[in-house]
Structure 1
Amino acid sequence: MKLLHIEEAPLKYLKTLRLHYEDKSGNARVWEMVSRSGKARLEKDLAGGNHTDGPMIVAWNEEKTHVVMIREYRVVAGKEIVTFPAGLCDEGESIKEASIREFKEETGLDFHYLAQEGPRYTSVGLSDEKVHTVYGTFTGELSQKYLEDSELIVPFLVDREEAVRLIKEEEMTVRSAFCLQMFFRIGPLFELIP
């Protein structure tokens, strides 16, 4: 397979791109995708660069019995979706700085950074978006007073029992479901592989 060229078709917040490429049989093909940053960043990544759009934050209490999650209204889904707090990096902001800021905004809690991994793609068939998964602990009291007017977010604490219920009964992002299953060691993976 060989990429031939990229065509940009911008929107307000996203750029739509058409990637013209050659498949393994030499046939000309077109792949459509969206990007937050556009053609220049995609070309850098294809040349070996690496970028991040922001953090997804997995935070637990000192006793490691609860994690913080949010219910956020998502326009595309038309309803609230359960997820870990997350957000975009501001210009010049590090992943650690963005994690602390976004966690405070979305939960009212203080985030104490421990580690990060990534960046990793969120939906590689559709977008070049990549995020870091950031880990740490939290202190403070849940609050919605730091939310932006455009955000409808309810932060809440999740223990093991609630994690099992959430995974079975509520809509959540796939990456949040996996992180929740890993933290509490629940779900089919842990049932199938002792």
Structure 2
Amino acid sequence: MSLYDAKVTSREPLPEKEAAWTKLVRINYQDPHDKSRTWESAERTTRPKGSDIDGVGIVAILDKPTGPEIILQKQFRPPVEKVTIEVPAGLIDAGETAEECAVRELKEETGYVGVASATSSIMFNDPGFCNTNLRMVHITVDMSLPENQNPKAELEDEEFIEVFHVPLADLFAQCEKFAAEGYAVDARVGTLAEGVELAKKFKL
């Protein structure tokens, strides 16, 4: 059995009282012409009190002699009914900083131990649909450390993740290849790949 054996077996409306992580809301607002309008939105219900973010995305770079490689992972995502190409990510726990969350999630999902080197401002995943947000945390992984020689993920029972890594310089081409093979490419991975290509083109 592998994550490629996963499949959606049915879809049905979800009563609000049964929803564990999300809720739907109707937003009333005034447009620039002072006209009253409404908007339908989804919201997470898991954000810890006092936190300004729902979670983190992780740009984890393996420092290799042959050049930097980015850690990616494959997961089956029921909403799109496909295995997706993603960066490691996770929801923040109460009292955690974004950096602490990123280091913890990277260890749990991939087995790699790293050090946070930079953190983005707050980013919104899909602001036309929901209020979910995150910070992207950059993590450097020292491949000379003993704990990174044979990393083993610490996955929960409901997590099925395949970890791999690709040369950062080849990320755009790899994303194109994955899409052609039928994978869904997460926007964070695709946007990062576009950024790498733009940096090459304009010699930034």
Report the TM-score, using the length of structure 1 for normalisation. 0.78
Q: CA RMSD in A?
A: 2.5
Aligned to 2:185: 172
Alignment of 1:114-193 (within 5 A): 114-139=117-142, 140-141=148-149, 143=151, 145-160=153-168, 162-170=170-178, 171-182=184-195, 185-186=196-197, 189-190=198-199, 193=202
| Secondary structure of the corresponding residue to residue 12 of structure 1 | coil
Task: Provide the rounded CA distance (Å) in 2 between the counterparts of 1:50 and 1:154.
Answer: 29
Task: Provide the rounded CA distance (Å) in 1 between the counterparts of 2:116 and 2:32.
Answer: 44
| Secondary structure of the corresponding residue to residue 107 of structure 2 | helix
Task: Provide the rounded CA distance (Å) in 1 between the counterparts of 2:62 and 2:115.
Answer: 10
* Unaligned ranges ≥5, structure 2: 1-15, 143-147, 179-183
Task: Provide the rounded CA distance (Å) in 2 between the counterparts of 1:158 and 1:109.
Answer: 15
C-alpha spacing 1:136/1:12, structure 2 compared with 1 (3 Å): closer
Task: Provide the rounded CA distance (Å) in 1 between the counterparts of 2:160 and 2:22.
Answer: 21
Task: Provide the rounded CA distance (Å) in 2 between the counterparts of 1:86 and 1:105.
Answer: 10
Aligned to 1:19: 27
Task: Provide the rounded CA distance (Å) in 2 between the counterparts of 1:160 and 1:97.
Answer: 24
Q: Does structure 1 conserve the Cα–Cα contact (< 8 Å) formed by 2:107 and 2:153?
A: no
Q: Does structure 1 conserve the Cα–Cα contact (< 8 Å) formed by 2:112 and 2:152?
A: no
C-alpha spacing 1:164/1:157, structure 2 compared with 1 (3 Å): same
| Secondary structure of the corresponding residue to residue 28 of structure 2 | strand
C-alpha spacing 1:141/1:78, structure 2 compared with 1 (3 Å): farther
Q: Share of identical aligned residues, percent?
A: 25
Report the TM-score, using the length of structure 2 for normalisation. 0.75
* Unaligned ranges ≥5, structure 1: 1-8, 42-48
Q: Does structure 2 conserve the Cα–Cα contact (< 8 Å) formed by 1:144 and 1:154?
A: no
